[in-house]
Amino acid sequence: LILAFLWTCLYFFKLTPKNSSSATTPPLPPGPRPLPIIGNLHQLSPTPYRTMADFSRKYGPLISVKLGMITTVVVSSADAAREMFQKHDLAVSSRKATAAVRAADGHDLHSMVWLPVNPKWRYLRKISTVQLFSAQRLNAGQSLRHDKVVEMAEYVGQCCKSGELVDIGKVAFTTQLNLLSNTFFSMDLASHKSKDSGEFKDLVWKIVEEIGKPNLADFFPVVGFVSWVSVNRELMGIGNRFNEVFTKIIRERLSDESRGYGDVLDTLIKIMKEDGSELSLDDIRHLLMDFFTAGTDTTTNTMEWAMTELVRHPEKMVKAQDELERVLGKDTKSIQESDISKLPYLQAVVKEILRMHPPTVFLVPRKADSDIELCGYLVPKNAQVFVNLWAISYDPNTWENPEKFLPERFLDQDVDVKGQDYGFIPFGAGRRACPGMTLTYRMLNLMLGTLIHGFNWKLEDGLSPDKLDMSEKFGVSIQKAKPLKLIPI
């Protein structure tokens, strides 16, 4: 009771405006009235991105809510996002690491995703850009990406001959997992025919789910330790498998440096061993965790939703297939990256999927490092800042008929995925935008184009497309609750 009383006093103290600054300080953004202690937590549904979108329709494109003791500002329109990224990007570039991230073996202290914009973050970002995502590196990796997509097509071809169901998410995951593992380690980590990729896929989703799951410590820092113990117990079991794989590979490489693979891991180890290097073994391990979780999760979910929407809208599938046949010919089943620029409708399909089913519904939580004025309202120092990507993607002020699957909307406007058009920022914007967006976009076009050019598809047991289960499972990303399994023909 005493603790509850103190929390209530602290809560109302924070809500009470200070008279000396009331004349000059703008108000907080509007929002639903919070309750003492719990704030607006009682109003959140199992799909909080939809709840926040409902709030924005009632209160405006910039709202404030109280999540427990944490003041949270939510950006829900393209215009508000534009003002934030163009005028205040640096001020809101710090991260609000969740309890799950902090519990994951100090991931927030080493992860490029969760570090604040500081010298270490700049150092890791530079290494990632130069070693993975520079134009030179991307061009050098074309043949590897092509080989992995061909392997995927060969597996689907075998399923086609035998009449086996294809788990679209698992196929996409295995392809992307092996692309990353060959880029980093010069080896496959799984095979389309083995159970390994399914196990890895489950591990990645568990990590994504735990990081996205609400936790008491995120809303009430005073109970942080108790909650941290619970979260840490969960994540340790999940993360151990990945850490075992990464640690084993790194140790083997360190014990046999004379061989020289010429891959990214070789380069990272070389950088780590330089005199005065700022890169540690822990940094490398957490960097791998970032790329293998985010890289596989994004591609897997997007591909699964893409095939789901195309099966539900067969006329769009036929339109994309006709374009592929016209550009590539009937006998050419293999798509090259140089073909993508000649396939505007395929690109439009990928972009429409990224709009309707964005890789993350909220961009990674940010923290205001100082008071800023945004859209005429105050975003106070230390406030948590969410960008509701789902709300922006379904905003009727930006998108006509946003609930409809209409790839054609992207044929009429020159919109890319690089974060310059604030109504369409699937990979974020500003200095914290996803560094791997170009690689991911290329792979999505290659994989989707290959699957629909080489095969036709039908649902199992004669299921009608309009009866397809579209229910969602929420984590950091939105996964299809029931895996999509199709028959290739």
Q: Do the domain assignments include residue 4?
A: no
Number of domains in the chain: 1
**CATH label of the domain that carries residue 276:** 1.10.630.10
Tell whether 60 is covered by a domain.
Answer: yes
Domain presence at residue 3: no
Q: How many CB atoms lie within 10 A of CB 216?
A: 17
In which domain, by residue range, is 348 found? 24-488
Q: What percent of the chain has pLDDT over 90?
A: 71
pLDDT digits (tens, 9 = 90+) for 113-151: 999 999 999 999 999 999 889 999 999 999 999 999 999
CB-CB contact of 386 with 72 (8 Å): yes
Domain for residue 266, yes or no?
Answer: yes
* 18 falls within a domain: no
What kind and span of H or E run contains 175? helix 168-185
pLDDT digits (tens, 9 = 90+) for 198-244: 677 777 877 777 776 767 778 887 765 555 555 556 666 666 677 77
Report whether 434 belongs to an annotated binding site.
yes
> What is the average pLDDT value for the chain, to the nearest integer?
89
Residue closest to 301 by CA, chosen among 209, 387, 365, 385: 209
In a domain, 267, yes or no: yes
Task: Using the predicted structure, report yes or no on whether residue 41 has a pLDDT greater than 80.
Answer: yes
**Torsional class of 461: left (φ above 0), alpha (ψ -120 to 50), beta (otherwise):** left
> Do 104 and 235 form a contact (C-beta atoms < 8 A)?
yes
Which residues make beta-bridge pairs with 367? Answer: 94, 384
Backbone dihedral angles phi then psi of residue 435, each to the nearest 5 degrees: -70, -20
Query: Tens digits of per-residue pLDDT, 357-407?
Result: 999 999 999 999 999 999 999 999 999 999 999 999 999 999 999 999 999
pLDDT over 70 percentage in the chain:
90
14 domain-assigned? no
Tokens 């050419």 found at:
332
CA 222 to chain centre: 29
Q: How many residues does the chain have?
A: 489
In sequence order, what DSSP letters do the residues of 366-377 get, joined into one string? EE-SS-EEETTE
In this prediction, residues 243-247 reach a mean pLDDT of: 82
**Residue 16: is its pLDDT beyond 50?**
no
CA atoms lying within 13 Å on the CB side of residue 181 = 19
Which residues are within 8 A (CB) of 2 and not within 5 positions of it... i.e. 6 or more apart?
none
- Residue 12 domain-assigned (yes or no): no
Neighbours of 98 (CB within 10 A): 23
Q: How far is CA 428 from the centre of its chain?
A: 9
H-helix or E-strand spanning residue 350:
helix 344-356
Q: Does the pLDDT of residue 17 top 80, yes or no?
A: no
Average pLDDT, stretch 79-94?
97
H/E element holding 378?
strand 377-379
CA separation for the pair 362, 476 (Å, rounded): 7
The model's pLDDT over 440-482, given as tens digits with 9 standing for 90+, comes to 999 999 999 999 999 999 998 888 898 899 999 887 788 899 9
Closest CA to 200 of 227, 181, 222: 181
14-23: burial string, b at 16+ Cβ within 10 Å, e else: eeeeeeeeee
Of 281, 263, 268, the closest CA to residue 127 belongs to: 268
Q: Are 80 and 356 in contact (CB under 8 A)?
A: no
The answer on pLDDT for 6 being more than 80 is no
